């Protein structure tokens, strides 16, 4: 070491400056490249974790919609007066008598008529069976009675009778008449006679596992992502790979019990498997005590980071070569500019990448500072590209959320129209059909995300007109919007989730008929639109949970308010969004603020 110091002291000042500056530049670039690579990797992984959580939340909501739909179908069947009459007659007679055998045949005809519009191909229901609380009396759609009796145990029947609400079985293997086997769930609902209150039977709808797997198979972000649904015993009940069904989670994912418990506690975990890191995320589906679990190989989502690293290394090598040449020509007259450049690099290493070195018009220092600034411009540009890409992904997710609302509303409205026609209320059927057409004409709007406030009000009015016919006993509505704001722009389908929440979580909870009011006006260079109802109201804690999305209960109580707030801020910034004023058991007022601007896509 002393010999090296002695040799260094004997060389010229020019060479000393060359060596020292070269070392400083090389070390600084290495540290910066390493810091940038780690920071970029951590940012991408963090975004991947948030994206996985949002994906599971969306699947959770879609699964809830599907589960509720099948439970609604069982309620429709069990409440049908024809089935109730036949089961009551069967209960009052000896079920083994010849008359009752004829009654069972009558029930088969009644069931066939009831489910003609419910079982596939109109829905995803696989088949229907009916018990008289003890024995099976009907099995249809290519099912043998003995096969249904094999998988429907007395325990399952007893649970349906005791709970008196739709109950779900675990994953079952059902063999059809053509010898094909399918993995299904049984949704059971007790039949209670409306007049006598007797428990007369149990209706069982079989739901194909493929129906649930379609919810998440179509929405996968990466090709090698895996999403599974587990039952309360951590056995797989839904997967794209059907060979994994009925297996324990430990047989599919390479994680021990402690790692699995950590995943349950934290909601996500990153594990190494065959020299590859995998992100696991989990979320509870509380309604049925199921779990949603996803695995995402991180090597697929860090490819962009590798490209950034290669660019940094390439540009860094070029800068190092250039620095050696420039440093060799340095003299004591330009040491000050070098110190300024070094100071700039230190500032950048603290995290402020917008700082640039002072550029000189000529000389080696001028070339060096320009090259360094070009490097930082490229790094900043790459970071901006990653940011805009993530922002585009969020826009896509919001579009998916808004589309998610429409099918359920469409099905309910079509059922309402059918009911009006059956009741010979043709005028109401025509009005409802026109309102439905107006709703979808505006909501489609050539695929644009931004429409005029006038069109948004038309869309909302059509929606409210339909709901007013469906829930005439719960609500009426009034719309007062100033004409001078109608030509300004608004993100499409902003008001619809708000009025839907007012109806379902506010007005329907009242014992008497309520009112919903929509107001629109401008004030202080902003546009304000208020949705007011005199329904159930909200507590301050509920308002905070709804806007901040703290837990699933908040989302279930007021689905859409947090998403509306995020959409507005995504389009227009943090100065705009949703505000809620409410007094429990009195009223709720939701206020959205928007800028005065035009940005429609033609």
In 113-218, the DSSP E strands lie at: 125-131, 136-139, 167-168, 172-175, 181-192, 199-208
N-terminal to C-terminal alpha carbon distance within the chain: 73
Q: What's residue 457's pLDDT? A: 93
Q: What's residue 1's pLDDT? A: 63
Give percent above pLDDT 90 in the chain: 18
Q: Say if pTM beats, i.e. exceeds, 0.85.
A: no
Q: What is the CATH number of domain 79-212?
A: 3.30.450.20
Cβ neighbors of 209 (< 8 A, separation 6 or more) are: 171, 182, 183, 184, 185, 237, 238, 242, 245
Rounded distance, CA 99 to CA 83, Å? Answer: 17
Choice among 100-104, 293-297, 567-571 with the minimum mean pLDDT:
100-104
Three-state secondary structure call for residue 95: coil
Higher pLDDT, 355 or 576: 576
Quote the distance between the C-alpha of residue 245 and its chain's center.
24
Q: What's residue 567's pLDDT? A: 81
Three-state secondary structure call for residue 19: helix
Q: What's residue 404's pLDDT? A: 45
Question: For residue 227, what is the enclosing H or E element?
Answer: strand 226-230
**Integer angstrom CA distances of residue 537 from 84, 103, 505:** 38, 50, 8
Three-state secondary structure call for residue 528: strand
Q: 272 with 198: CB under 8 angstroms?
A: no
Higher pLDDT, 380 or 159: 159
Can you tell me the mean pLDDT for 166-191? 90
| Residue position matching structure tokens 């829930």 | 471
Question: For residue 263, what is the enclosing H or E element?
Answer: helix 257-266
Q: Where is mean pLDDT largest: 4-18, 136-150, 202-216?
A: 202-216
Higher pLDDT, 357 or 520: 520
Residue 445 has a CB neighbour count (10 Å cut-off) of 19
Can you tell me the mean pLDDT for 335-356? 71
Residue of 538, 561, 520, 180 lying closest to 401 (CA atoms): 561
Strand pairing category for 489-491 and 475-481: unpaired
Can you tell me the mean pLDDT for 178-201? 89
Q: What's residue 454's pLDDT? A: 92
Phi, psi of 181 (to 5 degrees): -115, 140
CATH 3.40.1190.20 fits 425-595, yes or no: no
Can you tell me the mean pLDDT for 98-125? 66
Rounded distance, CA 200 to CA 103, Å? Answer: 14
Residue of 562, 395, 414 lying closest to 492 (CA atoms): 395
Cβ neighbors of 327 (< 8 A, separation 6 or more) are: 17, 18, 19, 21, 22, 25
Strand pairing category for 181-192 and 199-208: antiparallel
Dump pLDDT digits (tens) for 193-204.
Answer: 888 888 888 999
Rounded distance, CA 322 to CA 325, Å? Answer: 5
Strand pairing category for 577-583 and 514-523: unpaired
Residue of 274, 317, 267 lying closest to 292 (CA atoms): 267
Q: What's residue 186's pLDDT? A: 92
* Residue 600 clears pLDDT 60, i.e. is over it: no
Domain ranges in the chain are 2-55+303-387, 79-212, 425-595
* Residue 551 clears pLDDT 50, i.e. is over it: no
| Residue position matching structure tokens 């500072």 | 369
Dump pLDDT digits (tens) for 232-262.
Answer: 999 999 988 888 899 998 888 888 889 889 9
Task: Quote the mean pLDDT of the chain.
Answer: 80
Name the pLDDT band for 399 (thresholds 50, 70, 90): low
Per residue, the 3-state secondary structure of 431-452, as one string, reads HHHHHHHHHHHHHHHHHCCEEE
């Amino acid at each position: 070491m002393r010999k090296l110091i002695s040799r260094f002291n004997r060389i010229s000042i020019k060479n000393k400056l060359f060596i020292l500056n070269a070392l400083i530049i090389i070390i600084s670039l290495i540290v910066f490249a390493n810091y940038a690579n780690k920071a970029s990797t951590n940012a991408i992984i963090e975004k991947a974790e948030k994206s996985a959580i949002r994906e599971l939340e969306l699947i959770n909501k879609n699964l809830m919609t599907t589960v509720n739909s099948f439970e609604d179908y069982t309620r429709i069947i069990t409440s049908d007066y024809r089935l109730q009459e036949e089961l009551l007659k069967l209960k009052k007679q000896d079920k083994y008598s010849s008359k009752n055998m004829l009654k069972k045949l009558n029930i088969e005809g009644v069931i066939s008529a009831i489910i003609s519009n419910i079982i596939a191909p109109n829905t995803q229901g696989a088949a229907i069976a009916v018990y008289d609380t003890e024995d099976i009396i009907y099995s249809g759609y290519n099912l043998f009675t003995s096969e249904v009796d094999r998988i429907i145990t007395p325990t399952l029947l007893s649970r349906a009778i005791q709970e008196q609400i739709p109950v779900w079985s675990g994953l079952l293997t059902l063999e059809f008449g053509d010898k094909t086997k399918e993995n299904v769930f049984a949704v059971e609902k007790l039949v209670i006679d409306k007049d006598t209150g007797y428990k007369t039977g149990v209706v069982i709808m079989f739901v194909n596992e493929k129906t649930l797997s379609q919810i998440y198979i179509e929405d996968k972000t990466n090709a090698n992502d895996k999403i599974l649904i587990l039952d309360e015993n951590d056995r797989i009940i839904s997967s794209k790979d059907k060979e994994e069904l009925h297996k324990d989670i430990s047989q599919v994912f390479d994680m021990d019990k402690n790692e699995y418990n950590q995943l349950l506690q934290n909601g996500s975990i990153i594990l190494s498997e065959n020299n590859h890191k995998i992100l696991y995320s989990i979320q509870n589906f509380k309604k049925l005590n199921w779990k949603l679990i996803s695995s995402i190989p991180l090597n697929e989502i860090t490819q962009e980071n590798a490209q950034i690293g290669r660019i940094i290394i390439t540009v860094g090598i070029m800068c190092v070569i250039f620095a050696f040449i420039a440093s060799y020509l340095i003299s004591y007259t330009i040491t000050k500019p070098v110190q300024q450049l070094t100071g700039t690099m230190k500032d950048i290493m603290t995290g402020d990448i917008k700082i640039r070195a002072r550029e000189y018009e000529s000389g080696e220092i001028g070339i060096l500072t320009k090259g360094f600034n070009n490097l930082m411009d490229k790094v900043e540009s790459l970071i901006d590209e990653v940011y805009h890409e993530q922002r585009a992904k969020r826009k896509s997710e919001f579009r998916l959320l808004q589309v998610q609302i429409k099918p359920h509303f469409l099905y309910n409205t079509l059922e309402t129209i059918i009911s009006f026609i059956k009741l010979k209320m043709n005028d109401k059927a025509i009005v409802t059909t026109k309102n439905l057409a107006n709703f979808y004409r505006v909501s489609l709007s050539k695929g644009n995300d931004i429409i005029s406030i006038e069109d948004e009000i038309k869309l909302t009015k059509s929606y409210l007109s339909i709901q007013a016919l469906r829930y005439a006993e719960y609500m009426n509505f009034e719309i007062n919007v100033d004409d001078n704001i109608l030509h300004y722009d608004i993100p499409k389908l902003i008001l619809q989730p708000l009025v839907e929440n007012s109806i379902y979580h506010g007005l329907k909870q009242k014992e008497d008929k309520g009112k919903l009011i929509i107001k629109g006006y401008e004030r202080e260079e902003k546009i304000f639109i208020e949705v007011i109802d005199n329904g159930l109201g909200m507590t301050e804690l509920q308002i905070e949970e709804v806007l901040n999305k703290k837990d699933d209960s908040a989302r279930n109580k007021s689905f859409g308010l947090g998403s509306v707030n995020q959409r507005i801020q995504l389009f227009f910034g943090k100065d705009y969004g949703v505000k809620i004023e409410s007094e429990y058991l009195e009223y709720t007022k939701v206020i959205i603020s928007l800028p005065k601007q035009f940005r429609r896509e033609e």
